[in-house]
Amino acid sequence: MANIKSARKRARQAEKTRKHNMGLRSKMRTEIKKVVSACDAGDQKAAAAAFKDAVPVIDSMVNKGIVNKNKAARHKSRLNARIKAL
């Protein structure tokens, strides 16, 4: 544990930010899983609707710095390819 007052504050802030980011990352993963499960069920309309909901969430994670833009693009591309393959 940090001894300096400012270092203790930064440690508190870092932990708070980490928990917040975990929640956002979990939300993104949930949206991705909704698309994957709809694809596995073979329901193209549901998968397309879930994909439409997932894209803004994935993009907002890039803007917040939670995920890299290339990772987000890879996820969107692969999800879209799965939907097109149905």
- Quote the tokens at residue 63: 């803007």
Question: What percentage of the chain reaches a pLDDT higher than 90?
Answer: 94
Name the band, by pLDDT with cuts 50, 70 and 90, for residue 31: very high
Question: Is a pLDDT exceeding 90 seen at residue 81?
Answer: yes
Give, as one character, the DSSP assignment of residue 65: T
Query: What tens digit of pLDDT does each residue of 43-68 get?
Result: 899 999 999 999 999 999 999 999 99
Global pTM reads 0.85
Average pLDDT, the chain: 95
- Quote the tokens at residue 64: 């917040």
Q: How far is C-alpha 31 from the geometric centre of its chain's CA atoms?
A: 7
CA distance 17 to 81: 34
Task: Delineate the domains of the chain, giving CATH numbers in brackets.
Answer: 5-85 (1.20.58.110)
How far apart, in Å, are the Cα atoms of 50 and each of 6, 31, 33, 80, 85? Answer: 44, 7, 9, 11, 16
Question: Is a pLDDT exceeding 90 seen at residue 1?
Answer: no
